[in-house]
Amino acid sequence: MSVAVVAGGAGFIGSHLCDALLGEGKHVICIDNLATGRSRNIAHLHTHQRFSFVQHDIVDGLPELPHVHEVYHLASPASPPGYTLLPVETMRVNAEGTFHLLELARHAGASFLYASTSEAYGDPLEHPQREDYRGNVSSTGPRSMYDEAKRYGEALTMAYVRAHELDGRIVRIFNTYGPRSDPHDGRLVPNLVMQALRGWPLTIYGDGTQTRSLCYVADLVEGLRATMNAPAARGQVINLGNPEEHTILEFATIIQELTGTGGDLVYSEPAVGDDPQRRRPDITRASGLLGWYPKTELHPGLRTTIDSFRDELATTDQSASPAAARSTPGI
């Protein structure tokens, strides 16, 4: 019996990871305090015999657990409005939360994966971003509670790999989208898709020439599994993301096309300062070590995502105003 712990398993990516692990025949223990996650993401798993959910804040230590074989640490606010509203919580879950999960893995002799972020590169001066680029990060800026917390989590993971021979690895996840992402968390795809479906103007922060590279969630989860399973990934930092890069204006146009809305664009100040201007992963390491590369094209991935948001919108309040949607990121 192989037992996997997924901290943050009620979140967007974590819930898809729980599905994948259960599909492989593993027992899955999802630990989540629902700070930014949603119980609806795992509602379909509650009757699954190999799934258990513990609502718990990992900053406070861990509940009593059976012997575990794999520990995935995905617990953290992840959207810019989310970590801005929860700055201390974000720092603590990536500091104390990481410590508790590392101790669990160390004592159990389990494999460990830490979900870091492309934000570890800050507003990058090198492009595309390779893992050996050390980044352009502010330790005091408006994103520092996230960027620096993740960098600390990476350093702590490497300390356990070196000092305790932990079987640990780090992934730097680049912007990921797909079904179950919180429609109200303020991120690019949820914001623009929900606005388009409601017939509202699409919000462009800044002039829209900044870029991102979007990875579909199923591809990302395959990358997480491949990283955990590969002995060669031990002690490594690995970028996971889709290298296809577009400007925000290009994403807005594609979403307008796919939703059949030709609505207006409205330009405003970024929701959170220090907005990285260019972002694209170099995935040479992931391809070489894991044989991993993303397979889902942008248009079909967005179509599936739009369909899932359309279904969700049909069951939620449609009377909220555009301003309300932007200022209440749903956490």
- Return the exposure string of 98-130: e unless at least 16 CB atoms fall within 10 Å of the residue's CB, then b: bbbbbebbbebebbbbbbbbbbbbbbbeeebbe
Work out whether 80 is an interface residue with ligand UDP (CB under 6 A).
yes
Work out whether 178 is an interface residue with ligand NAD (CB under 6 A).
no
**Is 205 known to be catalytic?**
no
8 Å CB contact between 240 and 172: yes
Alpha-carbon torsion 85, 133, 59, 228, what sign?
A: positive
Q: Is 254 exposed, middle or buried (0-12, 13-18, 19+ CB in 10 A)?
A: middle
**Contacts of ligand NAD in 102-141 (CB under 6 A):** 115, 117
Binding mask 39-78 for ligand NAD (x = CB under 6 A): ------------------xxx--------------xxxxx
Q: Strand (E) positions, 33-84?
A: 51-55, 70-73
Alpha-carbon torsion 227, 120, 271, 57, what sign?
A: positive
Helices (H), the chain: 12-23, 80-85, 87-108, 144-164, 188-198, 217-229, 248-259, 284-290, 298-314, 322-327
C-alpha span between 318 and 303 (Å, rounded): 21
**Contacts of ligand UDP in 272-331 (CB under 6 A):** 275
CB nearer ligand NAD, residue 57 or residue 201: 57
Which of ligand UDP, ligand NAD, none has residue 302 at its interface (CB below 5 to 8 Å by kind)? none
Work out whether 157 is an interface residue with ligand NAD (CB under 6 A).
no
Work out whether 270 is an interface residue with ligand UDP (CB under 6 A).
yes
Number of residues that bind ligand UDP (CB under 6 A): 15
Q: Pick the closest to residue 248 from 287, 283, 202, 282 (CA basis).
A: 202
Using CB under 6 A, pick the residue from 169, 187, 280, 285 that binds ligand UDP.
187
C-alpha span between 257 and 149 (Å, rounded): 38
Binding mask 232-251 for ligand UDP (x = CB under 6 A): ----------------x---
Work out whether 33 is an interface residue with ligand NAD (CB under 6 A).
yes
Q: How far is the CB of 266 from ligand UDP (least distance, A)?
A: 9
Alpha-carbon torsion 129, 298, 306, 239, what sign?
A: negative
| Helix (H) / strand (E) containing 4 | strand 3-7
Q: How far is the CB of 187 from ligand UDP (least distance, A)?
A: 3
Could you count the other beta carbons within 10 Å of the beta carbon of residue 326? 16
Question: Which of the following is catalytic: 83, 121, 146, 177?
Answer: 146
Q: How far is the CB of 62 from ligand NAD (least distance, A)?
A: 10
Work out whether 191 is an interface residue with ligand UDP (CB under 6 A).
yes
Contacts of 203 (CB under 8 A, 6+ apart): 191, 192, 195, 265, 266, 268, 322, 326
Which of ligand NAD, ligand UDP, none has residue 191 at its interface (CB below 5 to 8 Å by kind)? ligand UDP
Which of ligand UDP, ligand NAD, none has residue 227 at its interface (CB below 5 to 8 Å by kind)? none
Q: What share of the chain is helix, strand, coil (3-state, %, to 5)?
A: 45, 20, 40
Which of ligand NAD, ligand UDP, none has residue 11 at its interface (CB below 5 to 8 Å by kind)? ligand NAD
Q: Give the range of 42-50, 66-74, 183-191, 254-262 binding ligand UDP by CB under 6 A.
A: 183-191
CB nearer ligand UDP, residue 250 or residue 275: 275
CB nearer ligand UDP, residue 111 or residue 210: 210
Residues annotated catalytic, as ranges: 146
- Could you list the residues that contact ligand NAD (CB under 6 A)? 7-8, 10-14, 31-37, 57-59, 74-78, 93, 97, 115, 117, 173, 175-176
